Amino acid sequence: MKKQQLDHWLQASKSTDCGPPKVFVVSCADLAHYSLAVEYKHQLEPILMKDQLLYFSSLEQVKSELKKLGLSSAYLRLHNAYDEFGHDDYAVTFQDIELHLAS
14 domain residue, yes or no: no
Q: What total of structural domains would you count in the chain?
A: 1
Q: How far apart are the first and last CA of the chain?
A: 28
How do residues 4-29 score in pLDDT, each as one tens digit? 888 888 888 777 777 778 999 998 76
State the CB neighbour count (10 A cutoff) for residue 93.
10
State the pTM of this model.
0.79
Report yes or no on 58 lying in a domain.
yes
Structural domain of 65: 3-9+21-82+92-100
pLDDT score recorded for residue 81: 65
Q: Establish if 87 belongs to a structural domain.
A: no
Residue 45 lies inside a defined structural domain of this protein: yes
Assigned domain for 75 exists: yes
Residue 16 lies in a domain: no
For residues 8 and 102, what is the distance between their CA atoms, to the nearest angstrom? 21
Answer whether 20's CB lies under 8 Å from 12's CB.
no
Q: Could you say which DSSP state residue 20 is in? A: P
What does the alpha-carbon distance between residue 51 and residue 65 come to, in Å, rounded to a whole number?
18
